[in-house]
Amino acid sequence: MTPLTTNKDWQKALLPMNATLQQAIHCLNDSAFQIAIVIHADGKLRGTLTDGDIRRGLLRGMTLESSIESLVKLDPFVVPTSFGRDAVLMLMQSNGVQQLPIVDENRMVVGLHALDELLTPQTRENLMVVMAGGQGRRLRPHTENCPKPLIPVAGKPMLEHIIERARSEGFGKFILAIHYLGHMIEEYFGNGAKWGVEISYLREDRPLGTAGAIGLMADLPEQPFVVSNGDVLTDIRYGELLDFHNRHGAMATMAVRLHEWQHPFGVVRTKGVDIVGFEEKPISRSHINAGVYVLDPLSLQHMQKGEHSDMPSLFARLQGASQRTIVYPMHEPWLDVGRPDDLQTANSQKS
């Protein structure tokens, strides 16, 4: 029986019990294990925390400063140091877990097994559509002679980053919706063979909005498909977004991010002319559209070929038809590259 070596960076997944949601998010992003191992001060295992737990907390109204304590899964699956590869894989697969903490006889955490390091990514037959037809006016002069999705970030076009990330998660079929300088995008990516994927194109005669181009598809996809704006750089896991959509039986899913904005002034609360309270520079929190979606093929029946439509309008139309539309709260790094400052930030983050 060959012993299974734990990942050498497993300690990045350790998180103290008194941590906040913000610290948990940083832990998940820094370790890339999709799990945080919550420990007592003496290093003994307390429980585990996943991004799904954090998403549920955010939907319940918790803030980034909230304690993780109520979200921690106590008494998770663990394995002793003596378990070999066959036993670990059998336990993971039979219980549907992707990570297994390793503990010694005193419940001290000594390692972590990660299934995704052993298995190749799941092949996804689902289509991914990337909206790449915008003119990028706010990014001029960068976009005067170059379509925004081809603007380089860390040495390669933004659109290439999106395709490569999706390919790493098993996606192999792409449709690029193009308009402004679309021939340059088509010349660069061709049929996708260079990247080991299949790429076809939707060519807009005029701008149709962030959803309108989807109505140009000649054939309805057979399965739910992912849609992304061509200027969104993110570490979101497209496969998990798709699985989330399927589990909830939704017609359309929108990835959203928590946005916090602090009022620059003290706010006076009034009732008529009477002062009833004060708030010193209050923080407003809301979910914003992250520009990544999953749509059921039947959602296209609510669109007309060639009509202009933005994605929020499509969601509103689906809601009006009593179809279920849901949000996918994300906490992964995300950047909408719409302005020169955003481009500078993207380059610094990717370098």
Structure-block tokens of residue 107:
């419940």
Local structure of 266: helix, strand or coil: coil
226: left (phi over 0), alpha (psi -120 to 50) or beta: beta
CB of 84 closer than 8 Å to CB of 4: yes
Distance separating alpha carbons of residues 44 and 97, to the nearest angstrom: 21
CB of 179 closer than 8 Å to CB of 204: yes
Secondary structure (DSSP) of 44-83: BEEEEEEHHHHHHHHHTT--TTSBSGGG-EES---EETT-
Q: Is 44 among the residues known to form the active site?
A: no
Closest CA to 250 of 320, 317, 312, 322: 322
CA 239, 244, 248: angle at the middle one, nearest 5?
150
Torsion over CA of 58, 61, 64 and 70, rounded to 10 degrees?
-80
Q: Which of 44, 156, 194, 281 is catalytic?
A: 281
Distance separating alpha carbons of residues 182 and 150, to the nearest angstrom: 10
Determine if the peptide bond prior to 340 is cis (ω within 30°). Answer: no
Local structure of 33: helix, strand or coil: coil
Distance separating alpha carbons of residues 45 and 109, to the nearest angstrom: 6
Structure-block tokens of residue 189:
């990516």
Instruction: List the catalytic residues.
Output: 281
